[in-house]
Chain A
Amino acid sequence: MARLNMVDAIDQALAQEMQRDPRVVVLGEDVGRDGGVFRVTDGLFDRYGADRVLDTPLAESGIVGMAIGMAIAGHRPVAEIQFSGFAYPAYDQLVSHASRMRNRSRGEFTCPLVVRMPYGGGIRALEHHSESMEAIFAHVPGLKVVIPADPYEAKGLLVSAIRDPDPVVFFEPARVYRAVKTEVPEEPYTLPLGKARIVREGRDITVLAWGAHVRTVKDAAARLEAEKAADVEVIDVRTLAPFDIETVVASVVKTGRAVVIHEAPRTCGFGAEISATLMERAVLHLLAPVLRVTGFDTVPPLAKSEDYYQPDVDAVIDAIRDSLRY
């Protein structure tokens, strides 16, 4: 089986879905001739031409708004926002229309579209290029929010997102793009939306993450195992909306402890939702409060201060120890 990085895995998923379904179109800034600034859409323009791979003018609201119309009219648009920090002009279209066209029209008109965007820090980029604002999308009724952690996950989840009948915001952790390779089957496959993934089973504590920080947590778990300090269950939440309550609650009922990791700001981050859900559904099983390791309630810092901001393995281990000691 081929070992691919996330960029190539997503590119492959797009190419295969375009092949399988002529309704799939890709649009965004620089996605055509240039193949995208991260090269995620490399080769698609040559293969499928300008009517299936649209280099758009520089207009995020335009890209998503137009994708909504395309979807209503029977296409399966996959829109790229160049960086998630530039999605805000498109937020209006997502919140006001994509997420509720189905509801407004009582199911007559729907928006089966995907909005892909690189997100998150760790790439030493300029301001607005390291945002991690997944929670403000997960907060919108009618939007699905999916975040793959590695190349294998990215391909399967993206294929599912494209085939899904509803709008999906697909966050791609930019820091993972070329950092790791996993085995990725050549054949198209799907991974379920709305299902968390148990990455590593453990007895002592449940640690939850998504995107780039699944790796951080795995590394923390491995270190604690080597030190025989704790047997950590690692969960990749994978889909923030809809959130897989069942898997997460079952895990915490088993372990009695939970830590959530995200690099997004702490206040109203998705960790808060997870923590509240555990309060409601598993409070009598909890042996310690649900802890969070998060970014700060600050602007994501520029390159030179970025390491201060990012949750790292040590911070995760500290939190796990705090929970175990509680």
Chain B
Amino acid sequence: MDIKVLIDLIKVALENGFAYGVLALGVYITYSILDFPDLSVDGTVPLGATVSAVLILQGMNPWLSCLIAFLAGAAAGCVTGLLHVKLKIRPLLCGILVMTALLSINLVLMMKGTGGMSTAALYNSPTILKVFPVGLIPENVNGYKLRIVVVTLALAVICKLLLDGYLKTKSGLLLRAAGGNEQFVTMLARNPGVSKILGLAIGNGLAAFAGAILTQSKSSADLQMGQGMVVIGLASVIIGTSVFRGVRRMKDTTKVILGAVIYAACLQVALALGLPNSYLKLLQALLFVLALVSTDLLDGGLKKSANAKGGR
């Protein structure tokens, strides 16, 4: 593999990697902080994509459509949380239920918004990549899609900083406590269920935001894009936290974004080596297994394994 191919790989990995990084931040909240394996992400990523695409087609400002996408994802996350907290349904089932319900909701939204189609094309519409202030960045430099990389990087960093800040507030610290020790939160005279719902709302809000970013950077939205998003998010979190485990000064939020970039790069390598596109999801799953197993090996089987966590 010569250097030019390598640079191409990095370039493509960065195009998707930072948007996946936003997704990974969302999954980090549910999976790592709340210890809640949340499958709803497979539904909330395309929800965000659909909501933002449809709203843009209706003439809404693309940035505003991202905000609404975030709120729609947060609402779906609340439903996941309510199913778990109020109806005592197990986390995995809550995710499956919401993901399944969103299949219909996304389809209906898409059909209503596009006049009966199952995809939305934004080639002739404004997106966050075309409007101010992003429009000022050169789109291509020497054939590299500089603009997408800069914008998604900036958005991932902003999300990371906001999340870092939030986790230092009283509400954020209570969220971390709710994931670690529910009884402790109860003894603080707070309902740990409320914290869980809040965490799921933020996590799925970020997932939907990632969907909105992905769809606008590709200038198209389709309903299949949700497939495998849970795996992308979880793998990014696990890869990031295990690869950079030794780096004390690096925050977990930084690690998971880098994990997303590494994961996107791995996928690109495989495709560059000639893997047919149809094997992509299979490869995603295999990479995920690899990430889980390597975490275990690094842990030496001493610590609570990521496997056990995900299998609950």
The answer on A and B forming one complex is: no
Residues of B near any A CB (own CB < 8 A): none
